[in-house]
Chains A and B, each alone.
Chain A
Amino acid sequence: MDHRLEQLKEQYSQIPIPEELNAVVLQALNRSSRRRTARRRWISAAAAAILIVLIGINTSPAVANAFASIPGIGQWVKVVTIREYFVEDERHNADIKVPEISNLGDDKLSAGLNEKYLAEGKQLYEQFQKDMQELRDGHLGVDAGYAVKTDTEDLFVIERYVVISMGSSEEKLKYDTIDKRNHIALTLPMLFKNDQYIKAISENIIEQMRQRMKDDPNQIYWIEGAADELSEDEWFRTIKPDQSFYIDASGHLIVVFDKYEVGPGYMGVQQFTIPTEAIAELLASDQYIK
């Protein structure tokens, strides 16, 4: 090749690759399957107009009562958006919805939860404002909200999700699993006789990961034998004692991992349903997990 052409090629190959490229690629490959996490930018050169809306929803007691007294079935928990932080300008957008639970049958329990949700929302919003000031360029987005995952006679589960996009995106899920009859917020250790559940669940999940990778070569989990380019201490070996979880309407234990926790970003948030027989012997009671 001509010397000058070589030179040009050399310069071309030195076009710097931005750090966030990989995240953008993975996210694009993964877009169809997850909640909107798209990189969004506003091209408008107009001066930034920031709009902040704080919504306080006054719930009608009549509606609340109507929900509360559906005959024949236990109590129906009511969830509304009590506050929404909304910011949008050409480079920033935040939409943070804060839930409020009522009609849980225990005012102290719901007050405690609601206080926590308000604090979470406020904290997200304050962090967003801080990041907005520090981030000179690029796009910053926060999308947070909630969903009711389970609402049976015995159990109520509320999920809170947070998607933060700053070049790449981060996604986190949190759950509160409430025993409606006894008015208790359940924790993972509470469900089991002793801490052997950690090993039993971890082994089951690793087995499921291997099966999923076998079924679909596009799936990658960071476990031994599949992510050998990672150092060993980055492999997933065990769940945390208080790993995110919830119990679904049919009484199955679902273990949840945040984005990046057990696999590359395009894998998104990961959930595993633990077959009850894999943990049956370790359960403290058969009241919740069936």
Chain B
Amino acid sequence: MSSRNSALVPFIMEHQDNIYRLAYSYVHNKDDALDVVQESIYKAMKTKSPLQDSSAIKSWFYRIVVHTALDLLKKRKRVQPIEDEQLHAIMDESEDHYSDVDMTRSLEQLPDKYRIVVVLRYFEDLKIEEVAEVLHENVNTVKTRLYHALRLLRIEMSQPS
């Protein structure tokens, strides 16, 4: 094991459950999620990790996980690009429903790009800036997506931190 990845190994060991859940939130099954975890680690170990700082490593490694998961989905051709009309249909639908909607299902019904910002921001506790880094998007795009996502989930957004 190379010493240049000395901060990476402990990070992965310590956060393996989070890494798995992040992968799972894309692929929705155990085997694929394990594959994504495995593949992400291979990729990360092959590359020199940019920084020793643990929060930088987190964004950097999560980005690898996100890319790997998306690659896998692409290979499986399960990704269906969401059109605006469809999106509005989902939004309208969710607005028409009441609070007895099963929340997990509605989170899973969100298009990937909306779901992931919720996962990263609220479940993995990344800062907006870090989410932007993981997704390679600018901060405003992330904020917009988060706003849409929460609206889709019928969650009132408190003042963004």
A21-B34, A30-B1 as given contacts; A13 in contact with B21, CB under 8 Å: yes
Query: Which residues of A sit under 8 angstroms from B35, Cβ to Cβ?
Result: 39, 41
Residue of B nearest to A266 (CB): B1
Q: Are A218 and B9 in contact (CB under 8 A)?
A: yes
Question: Which B8-35 residues have a C-beta within 8 angstroms of A?
Answer: 9, 12-13, 16-17, 19-21, 24-25, 30-31, 34-35
A21-B16, A33-B1, A39-B38 as given contacts; A8 in contact with B104, CB under 8 Å: yes
A2-B155, A29-B1, A30-B1 as given contacts; A24 in contact with B119, CB under 8 Å: no
Residue of A nearest to B118 (CB): A8
CB distance from A216 to the nearest CB of B (A): 7
Q: Tell me which of A15, A24, A38 contacts B21 (CB under 8 A).
A: A15
Secondary structure of the A side of the interface?
helix
CB distance from A212 to the nearest CB of B (A): 12
Does B153 sit at the interface, judged by CB under 8 A?
A: yes
Query: Which residues of B sit under 8 angstroms from A41, Cβ to Cβ?
Result: 31, 35
Does A32 sit at the interface, judged by CB under 8 A?
A: yes
A5-B155, A8-B107, A25-B41 as given contacts; A13 in contact with B123, CB under 8 Å: yes
Contact with A along B143-159 (1 / 0, CB 8 A): 00000001001111110
Does B103 sit at the interface, judged by CB under 8 A?
A: yes
Contact with B along A1-38 (1 / 0, CB 8 A): 11011011101110101101110110111111100001
Q: A31 to B154, alpha carbons, bound, how many Å? A: 45
Query: Which residues of A sit under 8 angstroms from B141, Cβ to Cβ?
Result: none
Contact with A along B37-75 (1 / 0, CB 8 A): 110011001000000000000000000000000000000
Q: Are B103 and A7 in contact (CB under 8 A)?
A: yes
Q: A18 to B153, alpha carbons, bound, how many Å? A: 28
Q: Tell me which of A28, A30, A216 contacts B3 (CB under 8 A).
A: A216
CB distance from B76 to the nearest CB of A (A): 8
CB distance from B65 to the nearest CB of A (A): 12
Does A61 sit at the interface, judged by CB under 8 A?
A: no
Residue of B nearest to A16 (CB): B30
Q: A102 to B127, alpha carbons, bound, how many Å? A: 67
Residue of A nearest to B34 (CB): A24
Residue of B nearest to A138 (CB): B31
Does B6 sit at the interface, judged by CB under 8 A?
A: yes
Query: Which residues of A sit under 8 angstroms from B24, Cβ to Cβ?
Result: 15
Q: Are B25 and A29 in contact (CB under 8 A)?
A: no
CB distance from B23 to the nearest CB of A (A): 10
A7-B103, A8-B107 as given contacts; A28 in contact with B38, CB under 8 Å: yes
Q: A27 to B45, alpha carbons, bound, how many Å? A: 12
Q: Are B1 and A216 in contact (CB under 8 A)?
A: yes
Does A72 sit at the interface, judged by CB under 8 A?
A: no
Q: A17 to B21, alpha carbons, bound, how many Å? A: 8
Q: Are B122 and A1 in contact (CB under 8 A)?
A: yes
A12-B21, A15-B25, A21-B34 as given contacts; A29 in contact with B45, CB under 8 Å: yes
Query: Which residues of A sit under 8 angstroms from B76, Cβ to Cβ?
Result: 43
Q: 17 A–B contact pairs at CB < 8 A?
A: A1-B122, A4-B103, A4-B154, A5-B122, A7-B103, A8-B122, A9-B123, A11-B104, A12-B25, A18-B34, A21-B16, A21-B37, A28-B37, A28-B41, A28-B42, A32-B1, A43-B76
Q: A4-B155, A38-B38 are in contact. List 20 more A-B contacts (CB 8 A).
A: A1-B158, A2-B157, A5-B150, A5-B155, A7-B103, A8-B107, A11-B104, A12-B25, A12-B119, A12-B123, A15-B24, A17-B17, A20-B34, A25-B19, A28-B37, A29-B13, A31-B42, A39-B35, A216-B1, A218-B6
